[in-house]
Each structure stands twice: as C-alpha cells, then as structure tokens.
Amino acid sequence: MALEEIIATLRARGYRITLPRRQTLQILLRAHSHLTCEQVHQRLVAQGLDVDEATTYRTLQWLKENGIIAQTDLGLGADVYSLIDSPLHHHLVCLRCGRISEISDSLFEPIRRQVRERYHFEPRIEHWAIFGICAECQSNEKGKIEPGNHGESGE
C-alpha cells in the first residue's frame, strides 16, 4: 500500500494528517524492516523534523490501532514496529547469541486456520518472534539450558 493511499484511508476515518504522522508513516514504508520507537524518532529528527519521542510513541500506537503496523517484542528491550504488508514475515530469535533471522509466513497458516475453526477466534499473527536456539548455538553448546542437562553457573 502506498503512502498517499494509507493517508487517504486514515483521513477518511476522521483523523488529522500532521507532518509527524505523515513522516513516521513514510519512514516505516521505506524501512522494509522493523524499527524501535527510538529508531523511528531518530530518523524523524535526522530528517529535520523536531518531533518529540512521546509523539512518536503516540503515532505508532495510533498506526497500530488502525491496523497499519504491528508491534513485536523481539527481546531487544524495546518493542519494534513494522508495516503490515504482504508477504508477511516473522522471526526466529536465538536465546543464546541473539541472532534474528527471518521466516516465511506460510508456517503460520495452519495455526491460523485451526484457531479460527476450532475456537472461532480471529488471530492477529502479523509479525511474530519464535524464541529458541539457532543451529550454530546448538552445535556450539549442546542443550546448555535443556532441562535435565547439567549446566554450570547461575549466570
């Protein structure tokens, strides 16, 4: 979906289109990846827009409520925000090394269908993180935190 198209939709819903809102949206459209609020804010400032970070939080919240972007916890401390555009994608996050990789949305289709059919629940699975251990860390430190294994220290 193009910028002006989204803008028009939001305007049609009765919202006011301000410069902070327009530019925030533009940044997310161009990003092609997820960004923290802080990162979005930094880019806004870099573009010469003297906007407050609280406003950026409010704008992101608003875009989320309007189904334009998704909010995700990737274990980075701060949540990330990303455009909901097709094709959807999700992430694998390694609990050991922190590496984040991308996975296809197709894996989630079965679970979406079953949740709809069996529970009559409409799932919003737009940008997810699956935590676990990546291939590399599996070979490096086999099942270090597996229950039943023998670890060594509290940290």
Q: Which residues bind its own copies (CB under 8 A)?
A: 9, 12-15, 62, 65-68, 73, 84, 92, 94-95, 101, 103, 107-108, 110-111, 114-115, 118-125, 130-135, 138, 145-148, 150-154
Q: In whole angstroms, what is the distance from residue 100 CA to residue 134 CA? A: 9
User: Would you tell me how many other CB atoms lie within 10 Å of the CB of residue 90?
Assistant: 18
Of positions 58, 89, 96, 112, contacts DNA by CB under 7 A: 58
Structure-token pair, residue 29: 């459209």
Crossing angle for the helix pair 19-31 and 3-12, to the nearest 10 degrees: 140
> Judged by CB, which is closer to DNA: 117, or 155?
155
Query: 51 vs 134, which CB is nearer to DNA?
Result: 51
- Token output for 119: 């529970």
Q: What's the chain's Rg over C-alpha atoms?
A: 19
**Do residues 79 and 71 make contact, with C-beta atoms less than 8 angstroms apart?**
yes
In this structure, the number of other CB atoms found within 10 A of the CB of residue 128 comes to: 19
8 Å CB contact between 74 and 81? no
Q: Which does residue 57 touch among DNA, its own copies, none (CB within 5 to 8 A, set by kind)? A: DNA
Query: Interaction with DNA in 4-23: which residues (CB under 7 A)?
Result: 11, 15-21
Choose among DNA, its own copies, none what residue 8 binds, the Cβ cut-off being 5 to 8 Å by kind.
Answer: none
Which of DNA, its own copies, none is residue 98 near (CB under 5 to 8 Å by kind)? none
Q: Among DNA, its own copies, none, what does residue 63 contact (CB within 5–8 Å per kind)?
A: none
Q: How far is the CB of 121 from its own copies (least distance, A)?
A: 5
How many Å separate Cα 90 from the centre of its chain? 8
Positions that interact with DNA (CB under 7 A):
11, 15-21, 36-38, 50-55, 57-59, 61, 77-79, 153-154
